[in-house]
Structure 1
Amino acid sequence: MIEQLVPTMVTYLTTIGVDPHDLAANPAAVIVTVDDIVLDWVDPGQVGADCSVAALYSGTEVPPRISAVRDASPGRRAFSVLHEFGHHLCTQVDEVADALWDLPEGGRGLEEDLVDAFAAAILLPADTVWATFAAGVDAASVGRLWRTTSASREACCVAAAQQLPAPGYVMLLRPDGRSQFAARHGDAIAVPRETAQTATKLRPALNGGTARGVDRPTLGSGVHTAEMYFDAIAADSYVFAVWVTDSPAWDALPAPLDSRPVGNTAYCGACAREFTTWRAACRHCGEPHCIRCGACECEPGGLRPVTTRRCDRCFQELPLPAFNGDSTTCNDH
């Protein structure tokens, strides 16, 4: 659907007198000529840390407003502003609005991918993208697209993800393994900004080199997806990582991939038991919440007060007053 809607959005620009080439050259200057849109430059703290781009769109204001982070790099500013402009167009282009309306939740998830694709299409000529990925998408080719154009890393990730032969991701990672941005293809589940990618085999790339093999991307909840082929390369303080479920562009040993996702396994000190959960990990300490008492490392009993403990001698679940202090043996033994 995205492949059909992006050209519709670009065509709409010409009907309202906007030249896509002018928009690519100076997004901020052109966007403010459309529908009286107001463009504000704001401090980073005014844009949520979880936002995948450095800007916000408010379509409920009259006139509509885009707030963009002033200290982002020029490339990221351009991509972010175009991303938010794409949200505005989703409300103005009838074909797009109708297509999203027919989807669950008004097509929110698809809309994010759509406006990313729109921004990338404006910034990166189609013939350049096709030429760069003629032999397939790997981490080195994503880096090459970034180095040979003025587009942001994020825009290059989106353009590359659209060329993947199967479901997967093209991620921009910081050296600590957290995602700066993650473009997806197919039915891959979205990976939010700041999600820590914990795949062990990624480590050589995060340390400044390259990495390639089979491992599991990590979702925002901390759950690991099914296994995927991956290729990663360090590039000027960031890492480009390409993940794909099938037909990788690089030489990969044919291997049966495990299609089962893997939950978060952890140990709860309050309950003295190991557990596996599919819930999101704590945003502060990064540890999963216990499925019994809700405890994590920084929020003991965060979801439900801990009122009992299992005795390690009689194996009964007893009220806390039945124990002395932190003892795991009840007072009857």
Structure 2
Amino acid sequence: MKTIEDCVAAALAGMAPDAQARFAVDPLATMRTDLGLKVTGADHLTEKRSDGGACDGLSFLKDGVILYAPTDNSRRENFTLAHELGHWLVEQVPEIFDWLFEQPAPERALETLCDQIAQRLLLAESSVSAIVGSGPIRARHVVDLYNATQASIPACAIALATRLPGLGTIIVVDTTTTFGEAENRAVVRYASVRPDPHKGWPKVYPWPGQTLPTGHPLQHLFSSAQTGPQQTAGVEIEPRALQQRSFWATPWGERATFYLDAVAVSARRVIGVLADTDLWGVERFHPTERRDFDQRPEQEITCCGQIRKVRGYPCERCGQIHCPVCGKCRCERRDDELVMCEGGCYLKFKPHLLVNGRCEDCR
């Protein structure tokens, strides 16, 4: 597995094509009948996925049990079911976890992977192509795809983000009021990230739950949409759109440049496309800027009966990266082979050096 697309294909390969086709029509029946899963609606479900965030579900994968929160909006409910099915499909392919272990944030990478599986199950590629045409991906395409299909906003964002030519992300930002605060905060409700095809995940990218960085241009779109679509001579005008060179920043101060295409779809919601290259011809001059990516070293290790390449930070003692299966480095595996002396010295030795459980000094 080299890319997230490889993982999506491997996970979906475990589901028969006819079952995939039926899923888009009747997700519940397909999961229960074709896959034998126990899927139950839980009206008062409060525990949800913490690192993805566009679904209201919880799975007990070893038992084949999936709980979900039924919603009036069937699009959201279908996405939740597809996302949870993604987790189950991933569990059937152990090789995917080798890839996940190499990612800088494995839990977030897993949620992104399951989001993409959900999108593939719910949204036909032909529908996406009809909306996008031959031009670059734009924020307005998310709305157009939503209106033209039965897919949810997250599913539409995922489908379009996978078509970005390089590093980029599509985000959905909503305003919300936190208890005790006088003003609304703009918060990322959903983000579909496309890592760089060659360099992988950047260090700076938006993620659900993050507050819009101070001074970000998207903030201006909320004020422009406060009164909704305007009327001029009886013709409805689209809410204000925005294209410009912009940025994103992490809560701990790291910052990176992105080009931005965005649209305010309501007084409380803005959709934006962030890309590392100027897909829309926003500026004539494009300065070369350094972008930080995950730079953990790669190493070939032999462990758990396999030789594999893994990415991570090596142990300071033995210099080996931890195995993605057992989670141990060379010295930790060696320590597991040692036995503590029963003579009271509290030291560990290889078993053949002990006689009646005691080392040479304690005998």
Q: TM-score range by the shorter chain?
A: 0.5 to 0.7
Shift of 1:213: 1.1
Secondary structure class of the residue paired with 1:177: strand
Aligned to 1:111: 110
Pairwise CA distance, 1:66: 2.1
Deviations 1:95-153 (A, max 9, x none): 535544x6358943432221111111111111222332331111112221122111110
Partner of 2:344: none
Distance 1:228 1:41 in 2: 40
Q: Once the two structures are superposed, what CA deviation does each residue of 1:230-286 show, in whole Å capped at 9, x if it has no partner?
A: 01101244211000111323544433265478xxxxxxxxxxxxxxxxxxxxxxxxx
* Cα distance in 2 between the residues matched to 1:143 and 1:118: 21
TM-score for the superposition, normalised by structure 2: 0.62
2:209 paired with 1:194: yes
Q: How large is the Cα RMSD of the aligned pairs?
A: 2.8
Residues of 2 paired with 1:65 and 1:190: CA distance?
A: 33
Match status 1:211 vs 2:238:
no
Alpha-carbon distance between aligned partners in 2 of 1:72 and 1:54, rounded to the nearest angstrom = 14
Deviates more, 1:236-245 or 1:106-115: 106-115
The one-letter amino acid of 2:20's match is P
Aligned to 1:165: 165
Counterpart of 2:20?
Answer: 20
Of 180, 187, 195, the match for 1:178: 187
**Matched residues in 2 for 1:165 and 1:243: separation?**
12
| Corresponding residue for residue 286 of structure 2 | 255
Native 8 Å contact 1:227 1:259 kept in 2: no
Unaligned runs of 5+ in 1: 262-333
Structure 2 unaligned spans of 5+: 176-184, 196-200, 226-239, 293-363
Give the Cα separation in 2 of the matches to 1:130 and 1:222. 38
Q: Deviations over 1:173-209 (max 9, x none)?
A: 1144211100101124553322111343212322323
Q: Give the stretch that moved more between structures: 186-195 or 121-130.
A: 186-195
Q: TM-score, normalised by structure 1?
A: 0.67
Task: Look up the equivalent residue of 1:203 and give its one-letter code.
Answer: Q
Choose between structure 1 and 2 for higher RCO, CA contacts under 8 A separated by at least 6 residues. Answer: 2
Larger Rg: 2
Specify the code of the residue in structure 2 equivalent to 1:110.
A
Q: What secondary structure is seen at the aligned counterpart in 1 of 2:141? A: helix
- Equivalent-residue separation in structure 2 for 1:179 and 1:147 (angstroms): 22
CA contact (8 A) 2:48 2:57 kept: yes
- Residues 167 and 194 in structure 2, CA contact (< 8 A), matched pair in contact too: yes
Aligned residue number for residue 223 of structure 1 = 253
Alignment length, in residue pairs? 256
With over 3 angstroms needed to count, the CA separation of the structure-2 counterparts of 1:200 and 1:108, relative to structure 1, is closer
How far apart are the structure 2 equivalents of 1:256 and 1:174? 31
Shift, 1:35, TM fit: 3.7
Residue aligned with 1:256, SS:
coil
Query: Which segments of structure 1 move beyond 6 Å, counting only runs of 4 or more?
Result: none
Kindly, what percent of the aligned residue pairs are identical?
Answer: 21
